[in-house]
């Protein structure tokens, strides 16, 4: 999808069609989540602090993200993909790999499949997408990046190296700033430079594993298959405060809300976590993570909150915080889990209460039932 969040907003607000659209946190510390191409012309891009975005593009339309709507469109688009092939590997909310090897007899050549997907997405959702077609995941992804927005790029097997070798090394998957710098020191600037270098010399620069990996990629080889089911490694959520928080009551509320969100997501995905981790960013940007591994895997907000709150209060020591995050790690599938209840624990406890709430939220919206302390005071209330 191209500028996905912004495109969804433009699709449902046609009046925004020809304006720069920027979606992101609108608070004083918000960052841009997505900007349409009109906004990008002003130098606005994702991860840019909102304050800078507003300075660069004062006439843009600034919108708070609507996660529920984006998820709905994302699901519908993924369904279009699955009409073509069951081998769909979602990469994020707006990106997926499709293995169409087996779909060719039914739907024609990959190019034809790509065109029909682009047409359906545009017709059904009013948004554009870009498709890269190639023999490997890595090249397909690169092709789609290069063809954005609203494009289609096919890299034939015999054209892979011509496409790949002039690109900068930073386009290689796994090459960040640091690796790029060590490669530059060897005089390696393009993918072609890396491909031409003997692996042994590459090893000296970036280490054994990375060298083999980069050499394969630079030579256009990528053996990874499209895997429809990706195992979750952790489930987490975090919040950046508009102003640094040291008030225990505000912190408590934030953690309760995060725990509620994370536990709900874990239950929906069918996971419970053995490790509860918190992320704490202090006012001076110093960031620490602390975790505790528990006896019984957790998927109940109440338990998650108790542990997260203890971890945060122990480690924050009352200092003002800029950000807190709550995360469940060491995930285990909860339907395969035999739970060890405490002695005398009622058969129907908090877990049952929370799963009931899950059901209610599914039907009546995420704010239908919430912990009382998270209710927004109604007008007229104190």
Phi, psi of 176 (to 5 degrees): -100, -165
For residues 230 to 249, the per-residue mask of contacts with other proteins, x marking binding by CB under 8 A and - elsewhere, is: --------------------
Among 83, 119, 284, 345, binds other proteins (CB under 8 A): 345
Structure tokens at 328: 């469940």
Contact call for residue 48 and other proteins (CB under 8 A): no
Identify the residue whose tokens are 């090897």.
101
Site of tokens 């997408």 = 129
Give which of 279, 283, 187, 299 is closest to 242, Cα–Cα.
Answer: 283
Q: Is 347 in the site for other proteins (CB under 8 A)?
A: yes
Q: Interhelix angle for 110-125 vs 67-84, to 10°?
A: 150
Of 73 and 328, CB closest to other proteins: 328
x-marked contacts with other proteins along 302-331 as a string, rule CB under 8 A: --------x---------------------
Question: Which residue, among 60, 243, 238, has the nearest Cα to 50 in the 3D structure?
Answer: 60
Give, as ranges, the residues between 3 and 42 that touch other proteins (CB under 8 A).
none
* 286 phi and psi angles, rounded to 5 deg: -65, 130
Q: Does 115 bind other proteins (CB under 8 A)?
A: no
Instruction: Give the binding range for other proteins (CB under 8 A) out of 108-116, 151-159, 204-212, 333-341.
Output: 333-341
Minimal distance in Å, beta carbon 255 to other proteins?
A: 17
47 binds other proteins (CB under 8 A): no
If binding is defined by CB under 8 A, does position 335 make contact with other proteins? yes
Q: Catalytic residue, from 69, 95, 216, 296: name it.
A: 95
| Total residues binding other proteins (CB under 8 A) | 18
Residues 265-294 that bind other proteins (CB under 8 A): 292
What CA–CA distances, in Å, run from 9 to 42, 46, 107, 189, 262? Answer: 19, 16, 31, 38, 26
Angle at which helices 248-269 and 301-316 cross, to 10°: 140
Q: Are strands 321-333 and 234-245 parallel, antiparallel or unpaired?
A: antiparallel
Q: What Cα–Cα distance (Å) separates residue 257 from each residue in 64, 181, 321?
A: 19, 41, 16
Q: Which stretch binds other proteins (CB under 8 A): 80-88, 91-99, 228-236, 343-351?
A: 343-351
Establish whether 15 is a catalytic residue.
no
- Return the active site residues: 95
Judged by the rule CB under 8 A, the positions of this chain that interact with other proteins are 292, 295, 310, 332, 334-345, 347, 351
């Amino acid at each position: 999808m191209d500028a996905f969040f912004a495109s969804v907003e433009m699709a449902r607000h046609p009046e925004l069609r020809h304006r720069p659209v920027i979606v992101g946190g609108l608070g004083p510390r918000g960052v841009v989540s997505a900007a349409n191409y009109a906004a990008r012309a002003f130098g606005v891009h994702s991860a840019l602090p909102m304050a800078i975005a507003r300075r660069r593009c004062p006439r843009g339309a600034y919108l708070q993200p609507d996660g529920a709507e984006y998820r709905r469109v994302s699901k519908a688009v993924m369904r279009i993909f699955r009409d073509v092939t069951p081998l769909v590997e979602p990469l994020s909310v707006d990106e997926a790999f499709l293995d169409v090897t087996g779909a060719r007899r039914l739907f024609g050549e990959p190019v034809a499949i790509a065109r029909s997907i682009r047409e359906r997405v545009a017709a059904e959702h009013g948004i554009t997408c870009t498709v890269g077609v190639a023999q490997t995941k890595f090249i397909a992804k690169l092709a789609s990046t290069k063809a954005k927005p609203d494009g289609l790029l096919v890299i034939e097997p015999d054209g892979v190296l011509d496409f790949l070798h002039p690109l900068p090394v930073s386009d290689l998957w796994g090459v960040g700033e640091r690796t790029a710098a060590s490669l530059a020191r060897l005089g390696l600037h393009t993918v072609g430079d890396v491909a031409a270098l003997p692996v042994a010399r590459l090893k000296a620069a970036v280490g054994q594993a990375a060298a083999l990996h980069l050499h394969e990629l630079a030579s256009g080889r990528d053996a990874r298959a499209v895997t429809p089911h990706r195992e979750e490694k952790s489930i987490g959520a975090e919040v950046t405060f508009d102003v640094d928080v040291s008030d225990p009551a505000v912190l408590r509320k934030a953690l309760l809300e995060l725990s509620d969100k994370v536990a709900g997501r874990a239950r929906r995905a069918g996971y419970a976590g053995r490790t509860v981790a918190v992320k704490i960013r202090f006012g001076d940007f110093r960031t620490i993570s602390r975790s505790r591994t528990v006896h019984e895997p957790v998927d109940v907000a109440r338990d998650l909150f108790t542990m997260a709150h203890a971890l945060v209060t122990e480690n924050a020591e009352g200092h003002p915080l800029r950000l807190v995050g709550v995360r469940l790690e060491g995930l285990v599938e909860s339907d395969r889990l035999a739970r060890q209840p405490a002695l005398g624990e009622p058969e129907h406890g908090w877990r049952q209460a929370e799963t009931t709430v899950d059901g209610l939220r599914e039907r009546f919206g995420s704010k239908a039932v919430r912990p009382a302390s998270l209710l927004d005071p109604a007008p007229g209330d104190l």
